[in-house]
Amino acid sequence: MNVTIVDYNSGNISSVINSFEEVAKNNVNIEVTSDLSKIKSSDKVVLPGQGSFKSCVGALNKISGLVDTLNEFAINNKKPLLGICVGLQMFADVGYEEKETKGLGWIPGKVSKIDNQNGKYKLPHIGWNQINILKDSKIFKDIENNSHMYFVHSYEFVPKDKNLISATTEYSSNIVCSVEKENIFGTQFHPEKSDKTGLKIIDNFIKL
């Protein structure tokens, strides 16, 4: 089986690569590339994202044909795709970081700044926080509710369809930290930085 981590120059993804390679342990071929033909032929795709919504969308669009290839992979062919952090946020129709920017439009909704309640909550939201698992998501198999995950973000994804939310975390308000729509999965937290629990989520995704 081939799992492709999309490398589109969106910041340092070495921890994502290391975690997937650790979980895969030679049973699964982990490829890190922006080569369209390799992405098309892979069994699963991971879309990481670091930095701002605008910069990540811009980096995706800079690689000719990449957005179309991801659309074909996830929307037309319905193959499993996992978005991490800004990778999840880009599923939205639109994001408002820096300036209004069009997203991939896979899951209707928007990405807006976390309400820090006039400075009561620090932004970015950095560190470990408990997640509240709302539904029986495939990537949460054998993960205990209220497990701690590692977060780094100032913006949150607000999907229109609340039934697609698979987990939330409490920070200033109830923030969406995981979504699942058929073959499309996304986590706002970083499974690759969330110790053994995070590795289990990666393992669940690989084993889908």
Catalytic residues: 85, 190, 192
Among 83, 82, 135, residue whose Cα is nearest residue 111:
83
Q: How far is 86 from 194, CA to CA, in rounded Å? A: 16
Exposure pattern of 40-78 as b/e (b: 16+ CB <10 Å)? eebebbbbbbbebbbbbbbbbeebeebeebbeebbbeee
Give the list of residues 6+ apart from residue 194 with CB closer than 8 angstroms, or none: 148, 149, 150, 201
